[in-house]
Amino acid sequence: MVSVLPVYAVRPDGVPDLFSRLGDVQAAFLREQNFAGAEGVVSLLPGPQGVAGAVLGLGLSKDPLVFGGLSAALPINFLWRLEPGPFTAAEAELGFRLGAYRFTRLKTSPKKPAQLCDTACTEAVTTLVDAMFMARDLINTPPNLLGPAELVEQAALVAQRFGAQLERINGPALAARFPVLHAVGAGSDRPPEAAVLSWAGSKAPADAKFISLCGKGVCFDTGGYDLKPSAAMLKMKKDMGGAAILLGVAQAVMALDLPVRLEVRLGCVENSISGHAMRPSDVLRSVTGTTIEVGNTDAEGRLVLCDLLAEAAAASPDWLIDAATLTGAARVALGPDLPALFCSDDALASALLKAGSSVHDPLWRLPLFDGYRPWLDSPVADINTVSAKPFAGAIVAALFLQRFVPQQIAWAHIDVYAWNDSTRPGRPEGGEAQSLRAIVQAISEFAQS
């Protein structure tokens, strides 16, 4: 029978009390290690049979992901039970489970993480974890196993699970309805597709809040004729991160049965090179009639989204949110862990920022600065995809997208990295569903307002 051992999670001011609760030997052992409750520090407790328990320092942080380091630090030949402490069971469960995530689908002998027992996990925690895991799995899947068709098929599975309608658009229908998206994927042997998911909560009235989501689903990005260097191409399976995150948001919203009306549009393509691929200086015509000069074929994400945004906006949603791994400039400005938020509506921006702060899934707002709009002027078309100036790349990309969203629509654009470059508590190396929990929390609060 597997032994069940205790885990004590404490803040610095709780360390003296912990020492008094433990035996003299264990307290002395922790003192010798200078255990002071610092954030993320894990120490095993000795006992007559070897390991008798563990302690986790919480520091002063309220972020539940501090519990995420336990799964790697605890021996797997025991079950572990969290003792009551200065946290909620939901916080501990969420952090632990997100830290226990592993992409093991392609491993012949996957390593198992440590396991908690006797958890009273809430439906909300399970819903968020499931959505996060699906998004992480999609981002981590190698590009030979996840192309445009496979990404749409995953959306179809989610729609079927929750009784949503899903429209799958490809071939001539895609070229007619989303011509710019179609042009981005024309260079690949794996044809581009789009998915449009529609759903309403079981308790949503006819005039329920209407949420529309648009995700960039570039399943692999070579850069096209403006070819990326090999080092920059290594992580480009994650270029569908925006679509994965928003599909995860949709799954969570539907699983929680929030009283909203929901639409999700995913543009699923591969940006490749061939005789059919778009070229620098090509001019494309959007479904809105706007002509677009292709300034750089590696700035394809904004082309994937522009027609999706135009169609979504035409339905007059209360909130229109897009997510995309759009620019390296956003990472230069804010680093890998802080998604950039651009928003045309202060109330929507405030809701997303507040929600992100409350669930420790932060965003940072950057400006849609009108002074940079002329940078997208083209001598041959209505607009260029990029600016000739080497500045403000994330802002310029957001301004391009805003061209396709009418002013009266409350619209937010989230520029995400969708990746953890190294493993930290709650954030295993690999694909990451950044902003998912923030968006779900914001929608949940908006639905009740």
DSSP 143-188: TTT--HHHHHHHHHHHHHHTT-EEEEEEHHHHHHHSHHHHHHHTTS
Contact 425, 432 (CB under 8 A): no
Q: Which of 238, 265, 302, 403 is catalytic?
A: 302
Amino acid at residue number 81: R
Q: Distance between alpha carbon 429 and the CA centroid of its chain, in Å? A: 14
Give every CB contact of residue 289 below 8 A, 6+ residues apart in sequence: none
Tokens 């360390």 belong to 15
Give every CB contact of residue 175 below 8 A, 6+ residues apart in sequence: 182
Element holding 412 (H helix, E strand): strand 411-415
Q: What is the dihedral of CA 146, 149, 154, 156, to 10 degrees?
A: 180
CATH label, 4-119, candidates 3.40.50.970, 3.30.70.100, 3.40.920.10, 3.40.220.10: 3.40.220.10
Q: What is the pLDDT of residue 349?
A: 98
3-state class percentages of the chain: helix first, strand second, coil last, to nearest 5: 40, 20, 40
> Could you report how far apart the first and last alpha carbons of the chain are, in Å?
51
Give every CB contact of residue 235 below 8 A, 6+ residues apart in sequence: 419
Q: Is 331 a catalytic residue?
A: no
Helix/strand number for the chain, H first, E second: 15, 18
Q: Is 228 a catalytic residue?
A: yes
Give every CB contact of residue 207 below 8 A, 6+ residues apart in sequence: none
Tokens 């295993």 belong to 428
Q: Does domain 125-447 have CATH number 1.20.1530.20?
A: no
Q: What is the pLDDT of residue 81?
A: 93
Amino acid at residue number 67: F
Q: What is the pLDDT of residue 119?
A: 63
Q: What is the pLDDT of residue 212?
A: 99
Q: Which of 81, 102, 168, 228 is catalytic?
A: 228
Q: Domain-by-domain residue ranges, the chain? A: 4-119, 125-447
- Phi, psi of 445, deg, nearest 5: -70, -40
Give every CB contact of residue 230 below 8 A, 6+ residues apart in sequence: none
- Phi, psi of 129, deg, nearest 5: -65, -45
Q: Which residues of the chain have pLDDT under 70?
A: 1, 118-121
Measured CA distances, 144 to 149, 302, 400 (Å)? 11, 24, 31
Give every CB contact of residue 174 below 8 A, 6+ residues apart in sequence: 181, 182, 192, 193, 194
Q: What is the pLDDT of residue 120?
A: 62
pLDDT, tens digit (0-9, with 9 covering 90-100), for 98-112: 999 999 999 998 888
User: 160, 166, 353, 132: which is closest to 249 by C-alpha?
Assistant: 132
